[in-house]
């Protein structure tokens, strides 16, 4: 059975290698880091990257603020709502993103401070990340003895907000990190909403640069892939150490 | 103190339910209203556009690509997950694979399209290597920019997604039944035929459904790869919405409803199949 690794690993490695080769190609001047150097000196690239990074952080915060209390309370007091929570959390996988764009843009046409800025994207992004954030939080909380934790915190006089921030969140740190990283990979790569709503995010920028410079697009794609992967790997290995 | 309990319920759970209602449930249901509403009120005209030859081709293409890529992804992803969980696999390698899967499952759009154009495009690395040994795949009728190309490209995010979702089910299987079957003298084939596959079938089915939906709703990747030249439903919707052809929200809504209906039909089919394959289980 072990030989099956070869085609699988080859299938996944080759496109990345080919991208790397393309990103180093300089036409008649052979191979070099020209594309990378040009990119570093392109303000539009930094603007789009910063926008996507900001959206990712906002999406993580908004998603957790909405979901942590809800999933916590559902697990502790309202287990009969679980089927409904499960259903809602798989809906974003069932309703195609492009249909959701159509639905959201038709209903929410204003006010301008909401739909006119890129921050509007945080709303669909929270929805897109919902299946993964919900699952991570739910698995994390099921592994905890919520009842005992809550009672202990309350008998020490903790209010609900401080109970969530000081007791629940530290106990959920690996689950939260996992959810946050998945959210980052989703937001950095998200193209559908940003392209249709005409916001210049990182994925939209890569698309745009791809039409003028294939080598720069390849360089950016490769960097984005390797950076997210190493970040996730760091958390996976670091989190395991911390858990021990 | 009942009202205080209720107030706590609302404060903790309310924001999430309201958010999901406002930005997920209502917009999805709203599509069905928009699909029968034009400037002159109620009309079936937008729905009728679904039966135009162009849109029917788009639906057929989308469904075909999604079914094929779901089958490929389910099979290859399950094998990949099985190999990853094999006893000899070191811990760091497992972390490497699982994190790679998380990134690759979200790898889409232009980056993915470029990666494959430089691998299997007309001037790609593999295309060139094969040509050097006398195999011209493009002369043989292959094209990265048609259906077969999409299936190959989609596998790059479908296989990792499958690996992620099937791993828990495989972990559950490995621990208990394998040893019991071996203890009773079952061969590998007998184990899979009589224990492994029947136990896994419901999980495999639900994963295949997820993969179908994932491919069906793919937009960034085919958009980047085929520049919109291969008719797919998602590409049609974006054309209608952003006015590349004609600006018509009702037609976009009708197409989106069509997609939701197809997904619902797949889920019903899944429900029927899941009940059948789950029958042997003692409740």
Using a CB–CB cutoff of 8 Å, tell me whether A189 touches chain B. yes
Chain A (32-61) residues lying within 8 Å, Cβ to Cβ, of chain B? none
- A172 has pLDDT over 50: yes
Q: What is the pLDDT of residue B74?
A: 94
What is the dotted CATH code of the domain comprising B27-106+157-277? 1.10.3720.10
Residue B75 has pLDDT above 90, yes or no: yes
Residue A62: its pLDDT value, please?
Answer: 93
Q: What distances in angstroms separate CA A162 from CA A159, B15, B49, B111, one per listed residue? A: 5, 19, 56, 43
B 221-280 residues inside an 8 A Cβ radius of A: 223-224, 234, 237-238, 241-242, 249, 252-253, 256-257, 259-260, 263-264, 267
- Chain A neighbors of B238, CB-CB under 8 A: 98, 192, 195-196
Q: Rounded to whole angstroms, what are the CA distances from A125 to A68, A197, A220? A: 17, 13, 22
- Are B92 and B105 a contacting pair, CB within 8 Å? no
**Alpha helix locations (H) across B196-242?**
197-216, 220-226, 233-242
Predicted confidence band of residue A242 (pLDDT cuts 50, 70, 90) = low
CA-based end-to-end distance of chain A? 33
Joined together, the tokens standing for residue B124 give: 């790609």
Give the dihedral sign, CA A129/A130/A134/A135.
negative
Question: Given an 8 Å threshold on Cβ–Cβ distance, is B259 in contact with A1?
Answer: no
Model-level pTM?
0.85
pLDDT at position A63, please? 92
Banded model confidence at residue B70, pLDDT cuts 50, 70, 90: very high
Looking at per-residue pLDDT, the higher value among A146 and A56 belongs to A56
Contact across the interface for B24 and A91, Cβ inside 8 Å: yes
A31 SS3 class: strand
Contact list in A for residue B82 (CB cut-off 8 A) is 1
CA of B237 vs chain A CAs: smallest distance (Å)? 7
Closest-approach residue (CA) in chain B for A197: B242
B281: left (phi over 0), alpha (psi -120 to 50) or beta: beta
pLDDT at A158 over 80: no
Residue positions counted in chain B = 283
Residues A93, B28: C-beta atoms closer than 8 Å: no
Q: So what's the pLDDT on residue B1?
A: 57
**Torsion of the alpha carbons at A204, B207, A8 and B101, rounded to the nearest 10:** 50
pLDDT at B151: 94
Q: How far is CA B95 from CA A190, A208, B156, B263, in A?
A: 25, 34, 19, 33
Whether residue A119 lies within 8 A of chain B, CB to CB, comes out as no
SS3 content of chain A, % helix, strand, coil (to 5): 85, 0, 15
Can you tell me the distance from the alpha carbon of A100 to that of B26, in angstroms, rounded to the nearest whole number? 10
Is pLDDT at A70 greater than 70 in this prediction? yes
pLDDT in the model for residue A225: 87
Whether the per-residue pLDDT at A135 is higher than 50: the answer is yes
Q: Which residues of B touch A192 (CB under 8 A)?
A: 219-220, 238
Task: Please name the fold of domain A42-202.
Answer: MetI-like fold (1.10.3720)
Judged by average pLDDT, the poorest of B60-74, B161-175, B241-255 is: B241-255
* B126 interfacial to chain A (CB closer than 8 Å): yes
Would you call B216 and A96 a contact, using CB atoms and an 8 Å cutoff? yes
Contact (CB, 8 A) for B212 and B231: no
Which range (A7-16, A87-96, B34-43) has the least confidence?
B34-43
**Does residue B212 have a pLDDT over 60?**
yes
Please tell me the predicted confidence (pLDDT) of residue B65: 95
Across chain B, mean pLDDT equals 83
Write out the two tokens for A31.
């191979």
Distances (CA, A) of B226 to A49, B21, B109, B116, B223: 25, 35, 11, 12, 6
B21 vs A127: CA distance, rounded Å:
11
The predicted pLDDT at position B125 comes to: 82
Instruction: Specify the pLDDT at position B243.
Output: 61
Structure tokens that stand for B110 in this block: 């232009």
pLDDT band at B156 (very low <50, low <70, confident <90, very high): very high
| Position B159 pLDDT exceeds 90 | yes
What are the two backbone dihedrals, phi and then psi, of residue B42, each rounded to the nearest 5 degrees? -65, 135
Q: Express each pLDDT in A115-128 by its tens digit.
A: 778 888 899 999 99
Candidates B28, B115, B124; nearest CB to A221: B115
| B174, pLDDT greater than 70 | no
Assess B11–A contact: CB distance below 8 Å, yes or no.
yes
Residue A243, pLDDT > 70, answer no
| Closest residue to A196, CB basis, from B12, B17, B238 | B238
Give the closest-approach CA distance of A124 to chain B in angstroms.
7
Q: Residues B90-96: what's their mean pLDDT?
A: 85
The pLDDT of residue A239 is 62
Region A70-86: what's the mean pLDDT? 85
Quick one: closest CA in B to A129, which residue?
B106
> B216 to chain A: which residues are within 8 Å by CB?
96
Shortest CA distance to B66 belongs to which of B164, B213, B165?
Answer: B213
Q: Which residue has the higher pLDDT, A60 or B6?
A: A60
Give the pLDDT mean for A103-121. Answer: 80
Among residues A65, A199, A80, which one has the least CA distance to residue A133? A65
Average pLDDT over all residues of chain A: 83
Q: Do B24 and A127 touch (CB under 8 A)?
A: yes
Chain B closest CA to A206's CA: distance in Å? 7
Mean pLDDT of A34-46: 83
Is residue B152 predicted with pLDDT exceeding 90?
A: yes
Cα–Cα nearest to B98, from B87, B108, B83: B83
Burial of A211 (0-12, 13-18, 19+ CB in 10 A): exposed
Please tell me the predicted confidence (pLDDT) of residue B154: 95
Percent of chain A with pLDDT over 90: 9
Top-confidence range, A213-227, B146-160, B242-256: B146-160
Q: What is the pLDDT of residue A77?
A: 82
Q: What is the CA radius of gyration of chain B?
A: 23
Helix (H, G, I), strand (E, B) or coil at A25: strand
Task: Give the list of residues 6+ apart from residue A26 with CB closer than 8 angstroms, or none.
Answer: A32, A34, A35, A215
> Does the pLDDT at position A244 exceed 50?
no
Q: Are B241 and A102 inside 8 Å of each other by CB? A: yes
Per-residue tokens: A130 = 């919902």
Q: At residue B66, does pLDDT exceed 90?
A: yes
- Average pLDDT of the residues in A183-211: 85
Every domain of chain A and the residues it spans: 42-202
Phi-psi region of B59 (alpha: psi -120 to 50; beta: other; left: phi over 0): alpha
**The two three-digit tokens of residue A207, written as one number:** 């698309």
- pLDDT at B157 exceeding the cut of 90: yes
Contact (CB<8Å) A127/B241: no
Residue among A21, A186, A240 minimizing CB distance to B106 = A186
Q: How far, in Å, CA of B216 to CA of B209, rounded? A: 10
pLDDT at B137 over 90: no
Picking from B140, B135, B137, B141, the residue whose alpha carbon sits closest to that of residue B120 is B137
Give the angle subtended at the CA of A53 by the CAs of B210 and A127, to the nearest 5°.
35
Which range, B100-104, B152-156, B161-165, B203-207, is most confident?
Answer: B152-156
Q: Predicted confidence band at B62 (pLDDT cuts at 50, 70, 90)?
A: very high
């Amino acid at each position: 059975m072990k030989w099956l690794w070869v085609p699988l690993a080859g299938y996944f490695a080759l496109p990345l290698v080919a991208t790397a080769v393309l990103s180093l190609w300089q036409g008649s001047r052979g191979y070099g880091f020209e594309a990378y150097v040009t990119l570093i000196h392109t303000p539009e690239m930094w603007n789009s990257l910063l926008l996507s990074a900001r959206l990712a952080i906002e999406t993580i915060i908004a998603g957790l603020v909405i979901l942590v209390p809800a999933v916590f309370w559902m697990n502790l007091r309202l287990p009969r709502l679980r089927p409904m929570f499960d259903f809602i959390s798989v809906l974003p996988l069932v309703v195609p993103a492009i249909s959701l764009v159509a639905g959201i843009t038709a209903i929410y046409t204003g006010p301008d401070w909401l739909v006119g800025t890129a921050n509007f994207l945080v709303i669909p992004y929270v929805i897109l990340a919902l299946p993964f954030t919900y699952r991570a939080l739910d698995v994390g909380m099921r592994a905890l003895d919520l009842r005992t934790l809550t009672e202990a915190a309350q008998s020490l006089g903790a209010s609900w907000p401080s109970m969530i921030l000081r007791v629940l969140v530290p106990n959920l740190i690996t689950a939260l990190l996992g959810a946050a990283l998945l959210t980052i990979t989703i937001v950095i790569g998200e193209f559908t909403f940003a392209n249709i709503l005409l916001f210049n995010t990182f994925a939209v920028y890569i698309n745009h640069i791809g039409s003028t410079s294939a080598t720069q697009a390849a360089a950016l794609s490769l960097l984005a892939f390797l950076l997210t992967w190493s970040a996730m790997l760091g958390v996976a290995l670091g989190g395991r150490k911390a858990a021990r | 103190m009942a009202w205080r309990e209720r107030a706590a319920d609302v404060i903790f759970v309310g924001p999430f339910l309201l958010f999901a209602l406002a930005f997920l449930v209502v917009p999805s249901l709203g599509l069905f209203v928009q699909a029968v509403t034009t400037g002159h009120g109620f009309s079936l005209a937008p729905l009728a556009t679904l039966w135009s030859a162009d849109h029917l081709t788009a639906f057929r293409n989308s469904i075909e690509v999604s079914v094929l890529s779901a089958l490929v992804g389910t099979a290859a992803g399950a094998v990949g997950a099985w190999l990853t969980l094999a006893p000899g696999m070191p811990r760091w390698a497992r972390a490497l694979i699982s994190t790679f899967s998380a990134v690759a499952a979200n790898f889409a759009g232009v980056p993915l399209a470029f990666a494959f154009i430089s691998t299997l495009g007309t001037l790609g690395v593999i295309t060139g290597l094969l040509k050097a040994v006398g195999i011209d795949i493009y002369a043989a009728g292959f094209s990265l920019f048609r259906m077969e190309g999409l299936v190959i490209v989609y596998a790059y995010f479908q296989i990792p997604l499958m690996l992620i979702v099937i791993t828990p089910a495989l972990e559950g299987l490995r621990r208990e039944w394998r040893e019991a079957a071996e203890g009773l003298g079952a061969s590998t084939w007998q184990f899979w035929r009589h224990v492994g596959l029947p136990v896994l079938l419901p999980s495999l089915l639900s994963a295949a459904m997820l993969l179908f939906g994932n491919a069906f709703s793919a937009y960034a990747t085919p958009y980047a790869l085929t520049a919109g030249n291969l008719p797919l439903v998602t590409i049609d919707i974006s054309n209608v919405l952003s006015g590349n052809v004609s600006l018509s929200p009702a037609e976009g809504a009708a197409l989106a409803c069509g997609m939701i209906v197809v997904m619902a039909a797949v889920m019903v089919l899944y429900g029927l199949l899941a009940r059948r394959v789950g029958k042997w289980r003692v409740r």
